[in-house]
Structure 1
Amino acid sequence: MVILIGNQKGGAGKSTITLLLANYLCEAHKRKVTVLDMDYQQSVSSKFEKAKILENEAPYEVIPADLKHFPILLKVLTKNPEETVLIDLPGKMDDDGLIAVILSGDLILCPFNYDEFSVDSTLLFAMVASKINNRAPIVFIPNRIKSTVRYHTRNDVDKVLAKFGTVSAGIPDRIDFQRVDTLHIPAILLPVVLPLLDHIYANYIDRKELK
């Protein structure tokens, strides 16, 4: 299964969601996971290398990947039907090489923030992704939700995004998320993220494989 994590806007939380999901799949479901880090910032790769320097045993592989190498990487990784490939997409949609990546997705996760610029970027990403790949469900994940966000603002945004996919439960804005690495999810964050991750697994990952 190939899961894309993307948004047109940098800083939406793609890398954090990638790490949370990778750790969750390995720890909670003993899945074979490989992460392709295609983001220009390569945050996931940096954390992976840092963990290796500290001589920790990696629960999954993280591969910094260039768009031009994607076809062969995908071919190799998906030979194993039990492999779950998570792809942290670039923060921009300005490269035709992304078409093959988006087409490969079985599920698209799109973290976003409740601010005007983020919502506009999220809508642009959703329109492009759904036009290229209309078989993969899109799940929008409200991320870094601030306590100052008004209910009617959230409600209005969710209604617009619901035209392209499903809006999941959100993740509050907490400094603890800076502690998420390629080894584990800090225990203090588990009550916050498990409902979201359990929902994604039960409704999209496990359900697809049962078909």
Structure 2
Amino acid sequence: MLILLGNQKGGAGKSTLTLLLANYLTQIKKRNVTVLDMDYQQSLATKAQKARILENEPLYEIVPADLKHFPSLHNALSNRSGEIILIDLPGKMDDDGLLPLFAACDLILCPFAYDEFSVDSTLLFAMVLRKINDKAPFIFIPNRVKNTVKYETKTEIENVLRRFGVVAPSLADRVDFQRISTFQTPLILYPVVLPLLDLIYNQYLDWEDHT
């Protein structure tokens, strides 16, 4: 199972969502997970290194990799029964190395914000990916949503995004998200994130044979 976490816009929350999902899958669902950190900043690989320095072993393997490494890594990981591969994509669309990832993925998770620039980037990402892969489910995840802000174009934006996929429950803007690591998700966040993560798992991952 290959899951892409991406958006053309940097800072959309791809890396945080990757950690949330990886921690959930390994700690709660007891699944085998490998994370390919293909973002240029490679913040996930850095977090994993810091965890080891502090003698906190990550719950899963995080592999820093370039886009060009994908075909070989995919072949190697596909031989592992029940393996879920999460890929934190770079925040760009102008690299042909993305094409094999887009074609091979089984599920796309796309965090976004309701501001105009983020929505434009999200739509471009969705249009390009859909031209290459029109079968993988596409889930848009409203991220860093402020409860005190009224998003006047929210309904209009979601209607446009539903042309390409589904709009999932939103993630609230919480400072606790900064405390997520490769070895734990703060317990205080679970009531916030479980509606989203349970939906993703129950509707798109639970049918898989993972014996």
TM-score band w.r.t. shorter chain: over 0.9
Cα deviation for residue 140 of structure 1 reads 0.2
Is 1:114–1:149's contact at 8 Å kept on the other side of the alignment?
no
Instruction: Give how far 1:41 is off.
Output: 1.2
Instruction: Look up the equivalent residue of 2:181 and give its one-letter code.
Output: D
Letter in 2 for 1:110: C
After superposition, the C-alpha distances for 1:69-104 in whole angstroms (9 at most, x for unaligned) are 111000001111310000000100110010001111
- The correspondence of residues 4-153 of structure 1 with structure 2, limited to 5 A, is 4-153=4-153
Q: Distance in 1 between matches of 2:91 and 2:97?
A: 14
CA 1:166–1:209: 2 relative to 1, 3 Å? farther
* Deviation of 1:149 (Å): 3.7
**Superposition CA RMSD, Å:** 1.2
Tell me which amino acid in the other structure corresponds to 1:155.
T
Q: 1:103 to 1:36 in 2, by over 3 A?
A: same
Q: Conserved in 1, the CA contact under 8 Å of 2:32 and 2:83? A: yes
2: CA distance between counterparts of 1:79 and 1:132? 24
The worse-fitting range, judged by mean Cα deviation, of 143-152 and 30-39 is 143-152
TM-score, normalization by structure 2: 0.96
Secondary structure at 1:207's aligned position in 2? coil
Give the aligned residue type for 1:134: D
Report if aligned partners of 2:143, 2:173 keep a CA contact under 8 Å in 1: yes
Residue in structure 1 matched with residue 161 of structure 2 by the alignment: 161
List runs of 5+ in structure 1 lacking aligned partners: none
Are the aligned partners of 2:110 and 2:141 in contact in 1 as well (CA < 8 Å)?
yes
Query: Among the aligned pairs, what percent are the same residue?
Result: 63
Per the alignment, in what secondary structure is the counterpart of residue 182 of structure 2? coil
Which runs of no fewer than 5 residues in structure 2 stay unpaired? none
Report how far residue 151 of structure 1 moved: 4.7
For residues 63 and 120 of structure 2, what CA distance do their matches in structure 1 show? 30
C-alpha contact 1:42 1:64 (8 A) present in aligned 2 = yes
CA distance in 1, matches of 2:117, 2:207: 34
Q: Does 1:192 align with 2:192?
A: yes
Give me the whole-angstrom Cα distance separating, in 2, the residues matched to 1:134 and 1:149: 34
- Tell me, in whole angstroms, the C-alpha distance in 2 between the residues paired with 1:120 and 1:87: 22
In the other structure, the counterpart of 1:171 is: 171
Note the C-alpha offset of 1:150: 2.5
Say how many residue pairs are matched: 210
SS class of match (1:95): coil
Contact 2:9–2:92 under 8 Å retained in 1:
yes
In the TM superposition, residue 152 of structure 1 has moved relative to its aligned partner by 3.8
Tell me the amino acid that sits aligned with residue 8 of structure 1.
Answer: Q
Shift of 1:209: 4.8
d(CA) in 1 for partners of 2:48 and 2:116?
Answer: 33
CA distance in 1, matches of 2:154, 2:184: 30
